[in-house]
Homo-oligomer: A and B are copies of this chain.
Amino acid sequence: MAQGIRDMIKDTAKVADLAKDAKDAALLNGVLMRTKEASNSAELVTYAPFTLFPTPVPKAVFQQALDVQTHYNSLVDRISQNTDFLKEALASTIEVDEFTSRLFKIHKQTLKEGISQSVVLGLNRSDYMLDGSSSLKQIEINTISASFGGLAAGLVGVHKHILKVAGRLEDSMAILDNNPAAGLARAISKAKELYGAERAVVLILVSDDEQNIYDQRCVELELMKLNVFTIRRTFEDVCARGSLDKEKRLIIDGLEVALVYFRNGYAPQQYKSQQDWDTRLMLERSRAIKCPDIATHLTGTKKVQQVLARPGVLERFFPNEPRVVEQIRATFAGLYTLDMGPEGDTIVAMALKDPEKYVLKPQREGGGNNIYGSEICKVLQEAKGSERMAYILMDKINSTPSHNYLLRQDSPLTVSNCLSELGIFGAYVRQGTEMVMNEQVGHLLRTKSSAHADGGVAAGVAVLDNPFLY
C-alpha cells in the first residue's frame, strides 16, 4: 500500500485538485495557524503547513517508539529527582551557557527553600529519525512546551479524507487515530485534581505573540471538556498581577492557580528582562504544580542526553531493569562531549575530519539552530576558550528520503525530497514517590524538505504529517 501512495505522488494531474481539497479539509479540521503578520489576531488565519500525503513509516519502528515512551517518562522523572546527577552532568554547560546557568540557579534556590509541591506533571515528546530503514534514533526529548499535540489530531481527518478522494479507501482506513491533546489534557486534569482545590485554574504560560496558538487552544478545548478551567497569561501578566500568599499559593486576578503549563519560557529570548526570570522563580517557588518543574526542564537539555549515552549511566536510573535499559539504549544515537580536556579534544578532531558525519547541536530548546557540514568546522575552529562546550556533537542520521508535497501558505505546489521525524507524546503524573499515571498519549510526524537540514514546523520548515504504516 505504501507503493500506492508513492504512485499517487507522481499523478501530477490529480495533485492540484487534491491540494485544494486538502487545504480546505485542513482548515475545517482545525489544522490552523495565525499569520506571521498578525499573530495576535483571530481575524485572518491560515492552515498550518502539512504534507498532501501521509508518509510511509515501517510498522516495527513505529511500535518500538510507542513501546519505549513510558520508560522515557520514567527516565526523565528519575533524572529530575537526582540533583547530584544533574549538577554533575550540567557543570560544563553552566559554565558556558547562560540560559542553562540561570535555570540551574532557580533549581538550586528552590531546593534550598524546600520543594512546596509533591505532585509532578510531565508532558514530553521524544523525537526520532530513522537511520537506514529500520533503526530508530532519538534526536531529542522535549520536556517543556512540547507542541503539535493539538494540530496532529486534526490532520488525521485530512489525510483520511484525501486518500478517500484519491480513491484509496483501504489506505484511508489505515491512517491511525491520534489525539495527543486529549491525552495531555487528561494528565493535566489528573494532576489538577491532586492539587485539591476544585475552583483553582490551570494557568497556561504563553507569549503574547504566538502563531501556533491553535495547537494550544486544542488542549484548552480538551480541558474544558473535562471541566478544567484555563487562563492564558504571559510572564508580564504574572509579574504585574500574580503573587504568592502565605502558603505559597499562586494567585492571579483573584484566581488560585493549581497548575502552570509552560508553553513559553523554553528559549533564552523569551525572557525579556530580569523580571521574567524573577517571575519564573516565583512560579517555581509556588505551590502550583509546574509542567514542567525546573529540574524536568533541565533534564531535557542535550547535555543530559549526551551524558546518558555514556556506558553505565542509564543503569544508574534503572538498576534492576536491564531490559528497560536495553530498550532505551536501542534508540540512542552516538552523542559526544565537547567539554574542555583530552576527551573533548579527540572529539573535535574527529568532527573536523569528517564533518558530514555529524550534527553540532546547541544545548538549548527550540529547533532551527543545528549546525551541519563545513559550518561545523567553522564553529569549532572559531570557538574561543570554552565556547565549544555550549554544543554537543551527534552522529548525523542517514534517513532515506521520500517524495511528498509540502502545503504551506502561498507556496507553489512542487514535489519535495523529504525527511521525516517521528515524535511520541508522553504524559505522567507523580505524587511524592508514587507514579499515578504513566502513558504514551499519541504521536506526531513532521516532514521537511531535505534541502532544509534543520528546523521545526513553527520555524517554517518542517510541516505536519501522518505516518502511513507498512
Interface residues of A (CB under 8 A from B): 20, 23-25, 27-30, 32, 35, 42-47, 161, 164-165, 169, 213-214, 217-218, 221, 224, 227, 229, 409-410
| Contact partners of A25 in chain B: CB under 8 A | 217, 221
Verify B46–A44 contact, CB threshold 8 A.
Answer: yes
Complex: A27 Cα to B150 Cα, angstroms: 14
Verify A45–B46 contact, CB threshold 8 A.
Answer: yes
Contact check: which of B23, B28, B213, B227 meets A169 at CB < 8 Å? B227
Contact check: which of B24, B47, B218 meets A214 at CB < 8 Å? B24
Complex: A337 Cα to B45 Cα, angstroms: 48
Specify the chain B residue showing the minimal Cβ separation from A224.
Answer: B164
Contact check: which of B24, B169, B218 meets A217 at CB < 8 Å? B24
Complex: A164 Cα to B165 Cα, angstroms: 37
| Contact partners of A227 in chain B: CB under 8 A | 164, 169
| Closest chain B CB from A255 CB (angstroms) | 12
7 A–B contacts from the bound complex (CB under 8 Å): A24-B42, A28-B32, A29-B30, A42-B47, A44-B44, A45-B46, A164-B227
| Contact partners of A224 in chain B: CB under 8 A | 161, 164-165
Specify the chain B residue showing the minimal Cβ separation from A32.
Answer: B27
Specify the chain B residue showing the minimal Cβ separation from A150.
Answer: B28
| Closest chain B CB from A410 CB (angstroms) | 5
Verify A42–B20 contact, CB threshold 8 A.
Answer: yes
Complex: A27 Cα to B42 Cα, angstroms: 8
Verify B46–A43 contact, CB threshold 8 A.
Answer: yes
| Closest chain B CB from A165 CB (angstroms) | 6
| Contact partners of A27 in chain B: CB under 8 A | 30, 32, 42, 45, 214
| Closest chain B CB from A456 CB (angstroms) | 21
Complex: A227 Cα to B32 Cα, angstroms: 26
Verify B217–A28 contact, CB threshold 8 A.
Answer: yes
Specify the chain B residue showing the minimal Cβ separation from A167.
Answer: B229
| Besides A28-B30, A44-B44, 4 other A-B contacts (C-beta < 8 A) | A23-B42, A28-B218, A43-B410, A45-B45
| Contact partners of A35 in chain B: CB under 8 A | 44
Complex: A161 Cα to B164 Cα, angstroms: 31
Contact check: which of B28, B30, B213, B217 meets A221 at CB < 8 Å? B28
Verify B164–A409 contact, CB threshold 8 A.
Answer: no
| Closest chain B CB from A214 CB (angstroms) | 6
Complex: A224 Cα to B35 Cα, angstroms: 30
Complex: A47 Cα to B45 Cα, angstroms: 9
| Contact partners of A29 in chain B: CB under 8 A | 30
Given contacts A30-B30, A227-B164, contact A409 B24 (CB under 8 A): no
| Closest chain B CB from A179 CB (angstroms) | 13
| Closest chain B CB from A30 CB (angstroms) | 4
| Closest chain B CB from A278 CB (angstroms) | 26
| Contact partners of A20 in chain B: CB under 8 A | 42
| Contact partners of A410 in chain B: CB under 8 A | 43
Complex: A28 Cα to B29 Cα, angstroms: 7
| Contact partners of A218 in chain B: CB under 8 A | 28
| Contact partners of A43 in chain B: CB under 8 A | 23, 46, 409-410
Verify A221–B161 contact, CB threshold 8 A.
Answer: yes
Verify A45–B42 contact, CB threshold 8 A.
Answer: no
Verify A28–B214 contact, CB threshold 8 A.
Answer: yes
| Contact partners of A23 in chain B: CB under 8 A | 42-43
Specify the chain B residue showing the minimal Cβ separation from A26.
Answer: B42
Given contacts A28-B30, A161-B224, contact A44 B42 (CB under 8 A): no
| Closest chain B CB from A28 CB (angstroms) | 4
| Contact partners of A165 in chain B: CB under 8 A | 224, 229
Specify the chain B residue showing the minimal Cβ separation from A25.
Answer: B221
